[in-house]
Structure 1
Amino acid sequence: MSHLTPPRQLPDADADADGSPDPDVPATDEPEKDSAPGAREPGAHVADEPDAQAPSPARGGWFGWRRRFPRTARGVWIGTTVLAAVLVFAVLLVPNRLDQITVQSFLRLPVEGLFLAAVLLALPSRARRITAAVLGVFLGMSAILKCLDMGFRQTLARPFDLVFDWVLLGDAADFLKDSLGRTGEMLAVIGVIALAVAVLVLSALAMVRLGNVLARHRRMAARTTLVLGVVWVICFTVGVQSGGVTVATKGYAQYLSNRVQYVRDGLGDAEVFKKQLTVDAYAKTPSDHLLAGLRGKDVMLTFVESYGRVAIDDPKMGPEVKATLEAGDARLKAAGFSARSGWLRSPVTGAGSWLAHSTFLSGLWVKNQQRYRTLTTSDRATLTSYFQKTGAWRTVGIVPGVRKAWPEGKYFGLDHIYDSEHLGYHGPYFSWSPVPDQFSLEAFQRLEHGRKNRDPIMAEIILASSHNPWSPIPRVIDWDDLGDGSVFDGIEKEGTDPTQVWKKPERVRTEYRRAIEYSIQSLTEWVERYGTDDTVLVFLGDHQPVPTVTGGSTSRDVPITIVARDPKVLDRIEGWNWTPGLKPADDAPTWGMDRFRDRFLTAYGPKAR
């Protein structure tokens, strides 16, 4: 009977440099060779010989599968290694702006990749794996941050703020709920969380895989890293480019540096803003001197959501919006009203209406959520609270976009607030907007302006129908037919579907333009219908719309207009050099939105000329 010895175990070709086996590297395709009984590989140790009872690697499991299907295993190993490298290099090279992502963006040599290779090559096995996993998680986090930057740039034309913007993610979830419903919101949130976790896990696994490959081929990897390092230095020094993009890049390191500086600036901004809060030229002005030039007038401070300069200047939208403004101007003139218009520069673009509103009313540049919170918990007086301080006006807020507790309303000096639940509206939502502008204005007339034997009113009014996503949009109907708003059921059903509209930028721009026209028509018709000799209307945009509409414009200008029938009201701002009519001229003065409060208080103070 022949004697067969257990198969001899060769030194594992998949072991790390320190001798530990690497399960990520496939076994060699060489067939095993039988050896004579008791034979031993020259130089082999007794410990290398397997126990006679040990199971053969070919009996099952991953190693057995690799031995039974060596070519398939090697193909899988090579494929996953390539995918790991692609993932890591994609994170290092991808820009944080959608408009900068091109093929050339990925045809570059990142110095950070060479640095990571050098670090992993220098570490022993255990430290290498731990370091690779940590670096992978960090790369995954930076990938998520870049995606947030892309989203914020598409919406707010700025990157995500690691200090102040977390609260906006909650607002984004609310927006999804309003647009897609509760189920749609939950599915979207779950999907985003799952995707974020997947990115972190995959990036960590990718770095560990690449670290193992570098260790298995240490000499070749070290030489390749050195050669590529020399190539990077030469390309960087000479400034070699491909398709207008620099080949040798240190963009990822610069990106991280910029983010760190962004955070440092944000943290230091709090003290700067607290000092600005204490400076108020009108803080000690006697109440009987404040706004003396408007005593007895009904003043409406009205914000038109997303009404930006692009609505007037864009060559495709501009002509139709201008026609709406001209029609409104003619309507107001026929009713005895005149208007003056200029430009303001908003602190935000795309979204963040509350930051623009508080900038306009407080006279301070409220550019982030921290400033907003600091402002609304301070005793800084706003334009609306100065109206309240005089005791000569009843101050009210028409805020249809508010659907939950809004304690800031008291800070802004509003005696009474009408939110979406208290305007008497029983019609459908128009996407984000709970109440059509025409109904909001009619509700203001019914609840406050149309009351008899009342005090003068100062009203802050937010017109929300022009809020993103601008689909579906209501249309102006006969004012006598508004009723409780149920008439809008059919109009909402006739409107466009936002999921279809947002597939094409041109359709988005068209719907945006129609929304602005609707808001302006509603407002001018209200003044024509209900305005009196004592009516003073100030209306303005709060910010430019999203980049999909602006086409990447960096302008933050918004139109502002003052309308009055009493010529003395407009005489007081003659020195502002604003344009007659509802449309400001291209070269009309442009102020920062934070400058309006003090200029308005000065113009309508007791000593104004």
Structure 2
Amino acid sequence: MAVFTRQPRTTDDAAETAPDTPEPPAPSGRLARWRAERPTAARVLRHTATTLAAALVLCALLLPNTVHTVTPGKFFRIPVEAIIGAAVLLALPRRPRLVAAVAGGLSLAALTVLNLLDMGFYEYLGRGFNLVLDWGLLDDAQAYMEDAMGGAGATALAIGAVVLAVLLFAVTTLATVRLSNVLARHRAVAVRSTLAAAVAWTLASTLGLQVGTLPLATDHASVLVEVQARRVQTTLRDEAAFEREARTDVFGGTPGEQLVPDLRGKDVLFAFIESYGRSAIEDPLIAPGVRRTLDSGTDSLAKAGFASKSGWLTSATYGGSSWLGHSTFLSGLWIDSQQRYRTVTSGDHLTLTKAFQKTGDWQTLGVMPGVRKGWPEAKFYGLDNVYDAFELGYKGPKFSWSTMPDQYTLEAFQRLEHGRERDKPLMAEIILTSSHQPWSPLPKMVDWEDLGDGSLFGPIQRAGTDPTEVIADSTRSKEEYGKSVQYSVSSLTQWLERYGTKDTVLVFLGDHQPIARVSGHRASRDVPVSIVAKDPEVLDRIAGWGWTDGLRPAPDAPVWRMSDFRDRFLTAYGSTPSRKTG
């Protein structure tokens, strides 16, 4: 009987008879293959992306809304919103967590955009961005950049801003989604870390721990959201309240014959000098040249028989939106928003200029070189005729935003209206624009006889400074701003000395302070105001105001709200109050 013994299987036998074992699939796709081939580099990249995502979220939570408060210490604090956000994401299942992460990213991006808009508005207008009212001002900003940088540069800047905004929303959303996934993958560590952060925030808040002068524990983002919400709420409430206020007018029912009787027969001119603020007279870098110009103007006018008195008015606007200052001064209402402006100009509230029209004894007109489109507000202001940028006969170059030099504007006013034979005296509102930012390039005074159609300003404009260089330099902005105010004041005082008569009464003032880059972040909103006349009785009527003699108001001269001027002026010159309601 044959005996069979079991022989050990060879390796080859095992290979032949063993069942097929599937090999792990090869990585598909370039990125997957790269990760498999370079695991260390892939790990470093993942950690870097996560770190950058966390940094972006923290920066969005801690970003201030004003330029001058952006300091390194602002970003080394513990935001409570990050702790709450992490806790919420950890508590949610996968799909709700993804939705919450996307919503959080979009919200952070929106808050960042609002903070950046706040920065721009605080820098240029001295106030934050209003979600309800201020979208239309972005068009004005675009027009301003076109004047300062040219059409191509402004368009490129606008496109760049839109692209950056889109990227911000995309990248911030991707960052929050990535962080939510990291929290889910490392849940145990994430829970412990979130609890530790919550304890650290509570202790820091309780003990008042600080990073420099800033609290270590912060709810900065929540406060900014509350600020934006409060602005919207205040705006909506203010609209109805102001509408009621605008319907009540102390002089609204006064008959024409009882308005400004003490100025009958006078040519009364109200001139606004763009951005002529208190800083022009008091800032150490700006003031010396402006003071010399005001003092020499006072002396020259005195030799021509004119006297003057000056004080201060607090403007309703700052850095821009000049029309708010104009309307506040002329209406006697505090108009510090576009909504208020629309409300008052759509009604029949009595303006200072309309008071002269209502008498029937004056020819009323506006000289508006900055107006380059339809201006229906002329009816509200009571102006019989308006000379805009296209009706003054100017053939020379623009000076950035300013369509023509102030000297030319005043000479055109003289040629078109003031120097003509008339049946009635004039009441004119004149808006001078040469001191409008960016204060580059600037015009220079020329011989009045040589002004012609303004073509002679071509070489002066071409030889001027580059606005893009001035905009970026605070010191140069101050220097050029000071020169622009000197030019505007010189144009006005020389015009008065040259063409003024015994019946000329000039009231001139600034509409607002220059932007914060020039006036400073803690500057007041005060602007100088002066009344100039040959007839001593005109200034005698305001002797009780306490104003300073000359064109330069003393530091301690009275300061009134700009909205107070209308009633004080009407009263001083004999107007009889008669209240109108509704």
| Partner residue in 1 for 2:207 | 238
| Partner residue in 1 for 2:102 | 133
| Partner residue in 1 for 2:3 | none
**Which amino acid is 2:521 matched to?**
G
Deviates more, 1:415-424 or 1:405-414: 405-414
1:132-155 alpha-carbon deviations (Å, 9 max, x no partner): 011101100101111001111110
TM-aligned CA deviation for residue 362 of structure 1: 0.6
Question: What are the within-5 Å matches in structure 2 for residues 176-325 of structure 1?
Answer: 176-325=145-294
Counterpart Cα distance in 2 of 1:4 and 1:335: 119
1:431 match: secondary structure = coil
Counterpart Cα distance in 1 of 2:171 and 2:50: 12
| Partner residue in 1 for 2:543 | 574
| Partner residue in 2 for 1:421 | 390
Are 1:542 and 2:511 matched, yes or no? yes
Where in structure 1 are there 5+ consecutive unaligned residues? 6-35, 40-51
1:374-402 alpha-carbon deviations (Å, 9 max, x no partner): 11111111111111111101101000001
TM-aligned CA deviation for residue 38 of structure 1: 7.5
Are 1:158 and 2:127 matched, yes or no? yes
TM-aligned CA deviation for residue 554 of structure 1: 3.3
Deviates more, 1:84-93 or 1:244-253: 244-253
2:533 to 556, 564, 567: 564
**Which amino acid is 1:177 matched to?**
E
TM-aligned CA deviation for residue 2 of structure 1: 8.2
2:131 match: secondary structure = coil
| Partner residue in 2 for 1:515 | 484
TM-aligned CA deviation for residue 306 of structure 1: 0.2
**Structure 1 residues 607 and 224: alpha-carbon distance in aligned structure 2, compared to 1, 3 A threshold:** closer
Counterpart Cα distance in 2 of 1:498 and 1:330: 34
1:434 to 395, 398, 403: 403
**Structure 1 residues 209 and 297: alpha-carbon distance in aligned structure 2, compared to 1, 3 A threshold:** same
| Partner residue in 1 for 2:6 | none
| Partner residue in 2 for 1:16 | none
Counterpart Cα distance in 1 of 2:28 and 2:306: 93
| Partner residue in 1 for 2:436 | 467
Counterpart Cα distance in 1 of 2:460 and 2:142: 27
2:529 match: secondary structure = strand
TM-aligned CA deviation for residue 3 of structure 1: 8.4
Contact 2:405 2:433 in 1 (8 A): yes
Contact 2:277 2:513 in 1 (8 A): yes
1:58 match: secondary structure = coil
1:525 match: secondary structure = helix
| Partner residue in 1 for 2:565 | 596
TM-aligned CA deviation for residue 199 of structure 1: 0.3
Counterpart Cα distance in 1 of 2:167 and 2:542: 59
Are 1:387 and 2:356 matched, yes or no? yes
| Partner residue in 1 for 2:66 | 97
1:430-453 alpha-carbon deviations (Å, 9 max, x no partner): 111001000000000000000014
Contact 1:58 1:68 in 2 (8 A): no
Give the aligned CA root-mean-square deviation in angstroms. Answer: 1.6
TM-aligned CA deviation for residue 103 of structure 1: 1.2
Counterpart Cα distance in 2 of 1:503 and 1:157: 18
Counterpart Cα distance in 1 of 2:86 and 2:304: 75
| Partner residue in 2 for 1:25 | none
TM-aligned CA deviation for residue 185 of structure 1: 2.2
Are 1:341 and 2:322 matched, yes or no? no
Contact 1:135 1:204 in 2 (8 A): yes
**Which amino acid is 1:287 matched to?**
G
| Partner residue in 1 for 2:424 | 455
TM-aligned CA deviation for residue 426 of structure 1: 0.2
Deviates more, 1:431-440 or 1:183-192: 183-192
**Which amino acid is 1:569 matched to?**
V
TM-aligned CA deviation for residue 606 of structure 1: 5.3
The percent identity for this pair of structures is: 52
TM-aligned CA deviation for residue 547 of structure 1: 0.5
**Which amino acid is 2:455 matched to?**
S
Q: Normalising by structure 2, what TM-score?
A: 0.95
Q: Normalising by structure 1, what TM-score?
A: 0.91
Deviates more, 1:97-106 or 1:334-343: 97-106
Contact 1:129 1:211 in 2 (8 A): yes
**Which amino acid is 2:476 matched to?**
R
